[in-house]
């Protein structure tokens, strides 16, 4: 006589229900992981923006004074005032472009993406496919 326990008596609907329940828990865990990772990324953005603002506040007066000194040196070297100020403005524009490019590089979407969550979701997708088979 063969005695069947509860595990053997379970039908396909129960097994699918269990698999769905496990998938739901897994999905909730992934949502929690995504929230945590996005929180970390938001903190990185906040720090970057704060550093950018602080650096700009300290840098602006120094750059203005340096540009005035540069213009004065050009005027002393025989350049006309408008041309020396234009040269200073062009130099300032180049410095600003470098700083903005550096800041945008740090805020690049690729670097802020929740890579760990996406990697884990791919693993979960493969797991669910395996469970359904």
Q: For the segment 84-132, what is each residue's pLDDT rounded down to a tens digit?
A: 999 999 998 998 899 889 888 877 766 666 777 777 777 877 777 776 6
Q: Is residue 9 helix, strand or coil?
A: helix
H-assigned helices in the chain: 6-9, 12-76, 81-106, 109-112, 115-132
Cβ partners under 8 Å of residue 15, min gap 6: none
Extract the tokens encoding 32.
């929690």
What's the mean pLDDT in 62-78? 94
Kindly calculate the radius of gyration of the chain based on its CA atoms and give it in whole angstroms: 30
Contact 120, 30 (CB under 8 A): yes
Contact 68, 84 (CB under 8 A): no
For residue 39, pLDDT beyond 80: yes
Q: pLDDT-derived band of residue 1, with 50, 70 and 90 as boundaries?
A: very low
Query: How many residues can be counted in the chain?
Result: 133
- For residues 83 and 106, give the distance between their C-alpha atoms in angstroms, rounded to a whole number: 35
Contact 103, 52 (CB under 8 A): yes
Query: What's the predicted TM-score (pTM) here?
Result: 0.44
């Amino acid at each position: 006589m063969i005695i069947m326990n509860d595990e053997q008596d379970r039908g396909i609907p129960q097994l699918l229900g269990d698999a769905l329940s496990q998938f739901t828990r897994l999905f909730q865990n992934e949502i929690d992981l995504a929230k945590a990772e996005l929180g970390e990324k938001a903190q990185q953005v906040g720090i970057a923006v704060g550093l950018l603002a602080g650096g700009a506040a300290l840098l602006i007066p120094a750059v203005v004074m340096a540009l005035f000194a540069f213009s004065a040196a050009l005027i002393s070297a025989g350049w006309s005032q408008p041309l020396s100020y234009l040269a200073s403005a062009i130099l300032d524009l180049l410095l600003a472009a470098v700083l903005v490019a550096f800041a945008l590089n740090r805020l690049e979407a690729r670097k802020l993406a929740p890579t760990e969550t996406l990697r884990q979701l791919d693993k979960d997708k493969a797991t669910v496919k395996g469970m359904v088979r």
